[in-house]
Each structure stands twice: as structure tokens, then as C-alpha cells.
Amino acid sequence: MKKSLQKFGICLFILVFSSHFSVFAQSEPESFTAKHAVYLEVGGSSGRYAINYSKIFHQNGKLKLNASAGFSMWRNELKDFKTIWLPVVPLEVSALYGKSKHHLEMGFGFTSLLDRGLEFKSESLELKDRVAIDAFIPLRVGYRYQKPDGGFFFRIGYTPIINFPPRTGGNWSFYPYHVGISFGKSF
């Protein structure tokens, strides 16, 4: 009885999935006419938040290639309680795979920022204000909702970050627990 029930379950599983895939195989993906998007991203490739512009620059069936650039200002407070706003520029390239409005999105980026801190000079025993260019590489795996003809735009993704300090002489580091969510409009 148990073996016959297992065989029935396996046959039902194969039947359901084979009919499910044949339905998808018959439909063609829609061509995107709304290739541009403007959106607010929290987390993600910006690290904290950013206003972004993106464009789909290549389409071939279910595969689309996308590039985006953004801008943000990060607040930095020093020990003297002075607040400084530092610019951040996230750049990203991603591949979208899917038909119609639902897509798997995978990509990577490069985010550059100005970083400000205090540096201790051991020779003179003084603190010196230091501004340096810093950068990190965000990776992305996520879901993207974008209609082919434009309108509401949404995406959510897992975005681990590889931090490399190009000028500060620090160590490379990896931050695996990072996500991003975006809302906006495609046109």
C-alpha cells in the first residue's frame, strides 16, 4: 500500500510539472517598450539609500541587460559633533531573466563614496581630519517586477557587499547580511 501510494505521488508530481512547463513553453516573452526606470532604493547597492535611474540596454527573448546609476548623501558625525554630508554614487549592471513582468535579477555593482574620519599622528600626537575615497562591490540576486509597457516598478534582493578600501590601507571585508528593496516607476 505504501509503495503504490509513493508511485501515485511520483506520477502525479511528474504530470503536474510536465503540464506546467508545456504551458510556459508555448508563450513568447513580451518585448519591453518601457526601458527606463526611476526609483528609490533602501539598502541594496547603495548601502543605505539612493535615488536611481536605470535603463534596459539589451533584450533577447527572456534575457534583458540593465544598467543603473544613483546618488545619495550619507551623514557623518565626528567627535566634535560636526555633521558632514558625504556623496555616494552607486553603479550597477544586472541581468533580468523572465517573461512579461516577473524577473529573476542577478548582477553586481561598484559604489564609490567619500569617507571622513579622524587620523592620529603618532609623531606629533595630534588628531588630523582625513577625507578619503572609499568603495565597495555590491552583488545582487533577487526578484524584479516591471511591466513591459511601464508603470509601477518594484524589486527586492539579497545584496551582500564586498568592501575594499582603495586609499585607506585597510583590509578587505565581506558583509553577507545585506538586502535591498526598491520602489519606483518605469517608462
Residue 15 resides in a domain? no
Residue 139 resides in a domain? yes
- Is residue 128 within 8 A of residue 118, CB to CB? The reply is yes
Instruction: Find the CATH number of the domain harbouring 169.
Output: 2.40.160
Residue 89 CA to residue 112 CA, distance in Å, equals 5
Angstrom CA distances, 60 to 30, 69, 97, 124, stand at 10, 23, 10, 62
Residue 124 resides in a domain? yes
Q: How far is CA 179 from the centre of its chain?
A: 8
Domains identified in the chain, total number? 1
* Confidence (pLDDT) at 78: 62
Would you write out the chain's pLDDT as a tens digit for each of its 187 residues?
555 545 555 654 565 555 444 444 445 557 888 999 999 999 998 889 999 999 999 999 899 999 999 999 988 766 566 777 889 999 999 999 998 899 999 999 999 887 766 667 777 777 766 677 788 999 999 999 999 999 999 999 999 999 887 655 667 889 899 999 999 999 9
* Confidence (pLDDT) at 123: 76
Residue 93 resides in a domain? yes
Which cell is 65 given? Answer: 541587460
Q: How many CB atoms lie within 10 A of CB 61?
A: 10
* Confidence (pLDDT) at 15: 53
* Confidence (pLDDT) at 18: 53
Its domain, for residue 166, covers: 35-186
* Confidence (pLDDT) at 24: 47
Residue 12 resides in a domain? no
Residue 27 resides in a domain? no
* Confidence (pLDDT) at 125: 75
Residue 9 resides in a domain? no
User: How many alpha carbons lie under 13 Å from residue 149 in its C-beta half-sphere?
Assistant: 0
* Confidence (pLDDT) at 1: 53
Residue 6 resides in a domain? no
Residue 156 CA to residue 150 CA, distance in Å, equals 18
